[in-house]
A = this chain, B = another copy of it.
Amino acid sequence: MSKRLIKITIEYDGTGYVGWQVQPNGPTVQEEVEKALKMLTDEDIRVRSASRTDSGVHALGQVATFYTESSIPAEKFAHAITSRLPKDIAVRSSEEAPDGFDPRHGAKRKLYRYRIATGPIRPALERRYLWHVKWPVDTEEMIKAAAYFTGTHNFTSFSNQECNTEDSDNTRTIDRSELIVTGDRITYEIEGRSFLYNMVRNITGTLVDVGLGNLKAGDIPAIFEAKDRQKAGQGAPACGLCLMWIKYE
């Protein structure tokens, strides 16, 4: 039987995983999906994802592909894989992908959402999905700071990548950067085609440092200019971050 390329959309609670990609130091989402595919098809299938989410980061709409010789109808994979996965991972949908479809390089836009709980007391409900910031934050100043990230910039100061020799490599275009405040909850949403390593967490941590008064919204242009990770704010913890969706052509 000829091989088909299947595209799947995956939701996971990253709390119990050391990230998407297979590695020796703990369970990963990729290996759980590949184990489920082995159970289902008896094939040794390698799954390729759009984004290698870090340890503890969540996804509502991660996208991945795999080749299979199985005769299972493409749209039946979602339920069949999910029933073989642990409760913190689910395949939301599955379909046959056109030949040459690449989940990573073909992505046109992604939305990441970062959720923060403010106030002196840590949250108990939904604590796995929130960063608790216990000191008061100036949300007006944070909203102003968030607006600076829209557009095309060199994001070297917001990346933990070690090889930052060529500036052009660290230029990214952000289509939307918005902070939404609802009571003691803050949601930060950022949309773009691609992101540097740790970029969303470093931007979010910088926004919180602006909220705490450690930085000012007006400092953001100089931080871009510096191309120096040390000039930006702290990195936000993984638990608040979720990859919401990825769009293709």
Binding site for B on A (CB under 8 A): 11-13, 58, 60, 78-79, 82, 87-93, 120-127, 129, 242
Closest CB in chain B relative to A147 CB, distance in Å: 27
Closest CB in chain B relative to A57 CB, distance in Å: 12
* Cα distance, A79 to B121, chains bound together (Å): 6
Residues of chain B with a CB closer than 8 A to A129's CB: 125-126
* Cα distance, A124 to B17, chains bound together (Å): 13
Say yes or no: A127-B87 contact (C-beta < 8 A), given A92-B121, A121-B92.
Answer: yes
Residues of chain B with a CB closer than 8 A to A242's CB: 125
Q: Select A122's contact among B60, B90, B120, B124, beta carbons within 8 Å.
A: B90
Q: How many copies make up the complex?
A: 2
Q: Which of A58, A82, A93, A126 has the most CB of B within 10 A?
A: A126
Residues of chain B with a CB closer than 8 A to A60's CB: 125
Closest CB in chain B relative to A245 CB, distance in Å: 13
* Cα distance, A93 to B120, chains bound together (Å): 10
Q: Which 7 A-B pairs have the closest CB atoms?
A: A90-B124, A11-B124, A12-B124, A92-B121, A13-B125, A88-B124, A90-B121
Closest CB in chain B relative to A125 CB, distance in Å: 5
Residues of chain B with a CB closer than 8 A to A90's CB: 121-124
Residues of chain B with a CB closer than 8 A to A87's CB: 122, 124, 127
Closest CB in chain B relative to A59 CB, distance in Å: 8
Residues of chain B with a CB closer than 8 A to A82's CB: 121-122
* Cα distance, A101 to B80, chains bound together (Å): 55
Contact call B79/A125, Cβ cutoff below 8 A: no
* Cα distance, A122 to B61, chains bound together (Å): 14
Q: A58-B125, A79-B120 are in contact. List 8 more A-B contacts (CB 8 A).
A: A12-B124, A12-B125, A79-B121, A87-B124, A90-B121, A93-B121, A125-B242, A126-B129
Which residue of chain B has its CB nearest to the CB of A119?
A: B92
Residues of chain B with a CB closer than 8 A to A78's CB: 120-121
* Cα distance, A88 to B123, chains bound together (Å): 8
Contact call B13/A127, Cβ cutoff below 8 A: yes
Contact call A126/B127, Cβ cutoff below 8 A: no
Q: Select A89's contact among B12, B92, B124, beta carbons within 8 Å.
A: B124
Which residue of chain B has its CB nearest to the CB of A10?
A: B124
